[in-house]
Amino acid sequence: MIKIPEKIMLANLPTRIEKLERLSQKLGGPNVYIKRDDQTGTEVSGNKIRKLEFSVREALDQGCDVLITCGGIQSNHCRATAAVASRIGIKSALLLKGNANIELDGNLFIDRLLGAEIHFITPEEYKNNRAEIMEKIKTELEQQGCKPYIIPEGASNGIGGFGYYNAMEEIISQEKEIGVHFDTIILAVGSGGTYSGLFLASKTLGYTGEIYGINVCDDAEHFKSEIYKISHESMQYLDIDLQFSKDEIHIIDGYVGKGYSLSRPEEIHFIHEFAKLEGIILDPVYTGKAMYGLVEEIKKGTFKNCKDILFIHTGGVFGLFPQKNLFTF
């Protein structure tokens, strides 16, 4: 049996799997279920905490006392990192893409509340130099006597990927409990680590369902390359050489819309209608786009041969508040 790295226990696990009864009935197609990874916690809610359980364990094992990471100004990952740092009694430094003068709302407000040290940079600096800037912050902290640990965007690297390797083990166990095997697992893809963990686990554990990511930024080829890379980084921890091709990585392109964290009216309308239909809140950056994409693909007949589909709700509710003005009631 493959032994994955150790983790710290921070998330509320296992998360529930629920059937979306009314959505399934309305679509008249496959049964659609949802895995409530939005309920992994409150301050640490969403998919990021699963990855951080592994990343932060590695940081603590190395004797580190500051977590450095990066993301957009409303980054769920950065908020979760700040929350974890405060919970275990160490510091956090966040590199955020955006304007320091923006309204204090959503995840940014929580970051401040948690006492994170925040550095703002331009979108251009973030795209081209974020790794270099984080290294500079690390050096400055080391000069102050700290021992920092850098976590990449979304904790999407080899060690972080085990968060969703572990989640796949959880899903397989839950399938046995509820008597359902999912033909397809669907999730939003924003940095690749969540998909990578599920994908690697499906290969090593012999899972027969297909995994589809719906990208919320960049394009399918970009994420196939990222997922391929992250999966190979994870394999180094396992000391295995699993052979697979990028063609086995399934990304459904076409739902990025206006771009990352930018919402179209039809996406906002869908989030509102879904909330009224199922009593579940999606976020505008990740799950809103991905669930909208899934519903559109079901309508097109993409999954007509599927019986049971599992959608992973990766959280992000705090990101809804800065976009509240887009909603009309």
Q: Which of 141, 12, 17 is nearest to 67 (CA)?
A: 141
Q: Going by C-beta distance under 8 Å and a sequence separation of 6 or more, which residues neighbour residue 228?
A: 246, 249
> Any catalytic annotation for residue 24?
no
DSSP alpha helix (H) spans, 210-286: 220-238, 265-278
Q: Using an 8 Å Cβ cutoff, are 305 and 51 in contact?
A: no
* 149, containing H or E segment: strand 148-150
In angstroms, rounded to a whole number, what is the distance separating the alpha carbons of residues 118 and 96? 7
Helices then strands, each counted (H, E), the chain = 10, 10
Map residue 57 onto helix, strand or coil.
helix
Q: Which of 181, 250, 254, 244 is nearest to 216 (CA)?
A: 254
In angstroms, rounded to a whole number, what is the distance separating the alpha carbons of residues 272 and 274? 6
In angstroms, rounded to a whole number, what is the distance separating the alpha carbons of residues 38 and 287? 10
In angstroms, rounded to a whole number, what is the distance separating the alpha carbons of residues 301 and 133? 46
Choice among 45, 55, 75, 196 that is catalytic: 75
Q: Going by C-beta distance under 8 Å and a sequence separation of 6 or more, which residues neighbour residue 131?
A: 152
- Tell me the CA distances in angstroms from 218 to 66, 81, 260, 281, 302, one per residue in order: 30, 24, 8, 25, 22
By annotation, the residues acting in catalysis are 75
